[in-house]
Every structure is written in C-alpha cells, then in structure tokens.
Copies of this chain bind each other. A is one copy, B any other.
Amino acid sequence: MSDPAPTATARRTRRHDPHRRDRLIGAALQVIAQRGVAGASHREIARAADVPLGSMTYHFASLDEILAEAFTRHADGIARVFDERLAAARTRDEAVEAVVTLVAGDLLSPGHDLVLTVELYVAAARNPRLKAVTQAWMQRSRDALERHFDPTTAREVDALIEGLTLHSALSTDPMSPAQIRHAIERYLR
C-alpha cells in the first residue's frame, strides 16, 4: 500500500531499512487477510514484505508476537474510527447516524478486510494475548457508545453491530446500507 520496501528492484544491497519492523506488521496483516492466520508463516510474511527469512526472528521473538502486534494494530485502527465518529456526534440522532455510517461505511469500504476481524476472534479463542486484544477493543467500543446511550443499550447495540457486520461479511447477498440503517434505527429510535 504505502511505505514500500526501499528499491524493491535492487535486491543486492538492501541494508539500512528503518521501519522494517512496522512494514513487517503491515505485511503480516496483509497475509492474514489473504491466507488466514493458518497461512501466516514466517516465510510467507517475509515474502510479502520482500525481506529475508532471518529478519523475522530478529525483529520478533516468535510468530505469536507478530500476530499479537498485527491484530493490535488492526483493532486500534477500527476503534479509533469508532471513537472519532461517536465523539463528533452532538445529539442522540447524530449518534445513531454515526453508528449507521460506521457499520455501512465499514462494511462497504472495499479496503477494509472484514475477515481479519473474524480471524482475530478465532485466534483469540486459544491465545490469551489475543483475547486481551479483543477484550480491550470491545470495552473501548462500549465506552464510545456510552457517550450517547445507557450501558444496557450500548451493550446490545454493540452486539447488533457485530451481528450485522458478520452477516454481511459471510453472505453472498450482503445487506444493503438501507437495510443496515433500518435495523439500527429500529433498535435505537
């Protein structure tokens, strides 16, 4: 995407690559989105970042560490948008609108790989480090919603958002923005 490897053509002298660690985390997310956590091996990530295999163990103590950092970045990115949209809303109606935009906009933005989130959920089921990442993310979402809604509503809306997102992600016949709006407004208005 952005910040490509320096001179991808000149293979010989590739030394001095600051931000390589960051690039590797980005490459990991790319590989996970494309091949899943199962396909995210050291070698595959290194290939995606155009970096030698040995570089992986230098920058990360283990595969686990790479996954944790990658998913943390993923969750932080989504949570930030969530925060910003809801913080900008001044009335309850604007907050409802923000939620609609979040779901419909998130779903429809082609660059946003929904499958990454599901991959995180599965991985978190067996990896305490990743479980902590998802928990923190959920808490952050709920806090953002509680700016405008009572805790019970916030929790329920959070679950609804989850379901709408997942359903659209998995269906070959995804819900239209209008349907998403309808579902959310039915619940919140």
**In the complex, which of the residues B134, B156, B182 contacts A156, with contact meaning CB atoms closer than 8 Å?**
B182
Q: Which residues of A169-185 have CB atoms within 8 Å of chain B's CB atoms?
A: 170-172, 175, 179, 182-183
**A183 and B159 contacting across the interface, CB-CB below 8 Å:** yes
| Chain B residues, Cβ within 8 Å of A171 | 135, 138
Copies in the complex: 2
**B126 and A170 contacting across the interface, CB-CB below 8 Å:** no
Does A80 touch B at the CB level, under 8 Å? no
Closest to A119 in B: B122
**In the complex, which of the residues B118, B134, B163, B182 contacts A160, with contact meaning CB atoms closer than 8 Å?**
B163
**B186 and A156 contacting across the interface, CB-CB below 8 Å:** yes
Distance A138 CA – B169 CA, assembled complex (angstroms): 13
Shortest distance from the beta carbon of A172 to any chain B beta carbon, whole Å: 6
**A135 and B183 contacting across the interface, CB-CB below 8 Å:** no
Number of residues of chain A lying within 8 A (CB) of chain B: 37
Shortest distance from the beta carbon of A142 to any chain B beta carbon, whole Å: 10
| Chain B residues, Cβ within 8 Å of A118 | 118, 121-122, 125
Shortest distance from the beta carbon of A41 to any chain B beta carbon, whole Å: 12
Q: Which residues of A28-43 have CB atoms within 8 Å of chain B's CB atoms?
A: 35-38
Closest to A138 in B: B171
Does A166 touch B at the CB level, under 8 Å? yes
**B159 and A164 contacting across the interface, CB-CB below 8 Å:** yes
Q: Which residues of A104-138 have CB atoms within 8 Å of chain B's CB atoms?
A: 115, 118-119, 121-122, 124-126, 131, 134-135, 138
| Apart from A118-B122, A159-B164, 8 more pairs, CB < 8 Å | A35-B126, A36-B126, A119-B122, A121-B166, A159-B160, A159-B167, A161-B163, A162-B166
Q: Which residues of A contact B (CB under 8 A)?
A: 35-38, 115, 118-119, 121-122, 124-126, 131, 134-135, 138, 152, 155-156, 158-164, 166-167, 170-172, 175, 179, 182-183, 186-187
